Amino acid sequence: MAKSITKVQAHLFLVGASFAYGANYNVAKIVMPDYVQPKGFILMRVIFAAVLFTVIHRIFIKEKIESTQDYRRLVFAAFFGACLNMITFFEGLSLTSPINASVIMVSSPILVLIMSAIILNEKVTAKKVVGIVLGLAGALILVGMNGFDFSSGTAQGDILVIVNACSYGYYLILIKPLATKYHPFTILKWVFIFGAPMVLPFGIMDLVEAQWHTFTPEVIGAIAFVLIGATCITYLFNAISLQVLNASTTSFYIYFQPLIAGAIAVFLFGEQPRWEQLYATILIFTGVALVSNWKTKSN
């Protein structure tokens, strides 16, 4: 498919996605685990997205996948982008704080650079290596704040969020070749159609057991935001941006999320950041500054 947007427009789409992702850390906490368990909420997201993208695609796009190899790539993208990514994020978020989760997610662009070097044979400079080391050091500080004791505190949730970061980074690398070939609605239709049966065994019981009659207007609004804003819109905006930007550049916009999520956590929930989180943030953003100086033709 021909490129239909400019790079400036692509960056604006990513800014919009970053705000939705940043708010999602706190808004999702309104719903789970008191009203819907994490895996049930994931199933809601995947089914809703599959239905919405399928309907829009059938009415307006009507584009077909050209090869078995592309279908295979979409299956893998569904596993890493709509199954493992969401399960580890929501499970992790239920076991850690919004600030912890948002700061750890900053490691995702660094992980994308590592995977790009391994999978796409992209050159890794000394500056990149230093940035990667600093960023990962910051993530390890967050995980180690409880002494790496997975039975207490937030360490288990922190580990799951790191797995989420790796999974989503790999998802971006998987769909990049597809984004320059197919319409974003075509890609996302199949990602969520393939993802739904993967998530179904994990989330069906949580969804069935949800006490729907107890949902308040605030809870319903939070669910609507997560389904539409933090799922459909963010996935769509990222897929659109990948038409003209590479996966590494797209992942860089995760750097906005700790600022957004942290501000919301402090403003709405009165949460206070710890000194360890401040040190980790400084390390991660120093790594970001070094890595983001990497110049490339596709940025």
The answer to whether 24 and 161 have CB atoms below 8 angstroms apart is no
Average pLDDT over residues 166-195: 93
pLDDT surpasses 50 at 148? no
How many Å apart are CA 199 and CA 79, to the nearest integer?
9
Instruction: Give the tens place of pLDDT for each residue, 43-89.
Output: 999 999 999 999 999 999 989 999 999 999 999 999 999 999 888 87
Q: Which residue has the tokens 């050159």?
A: 123
Largest CA distance in the chain: 57
Rounded to whole angstroms, the Cα distance separating 141 from 102 reads 14
pLDDT for residue 250: 79
pTM of the model: 0.80
- C-alpha distance across the termini of the chain, in Å: 19
Locate 188 and state its tokens.
């996302």
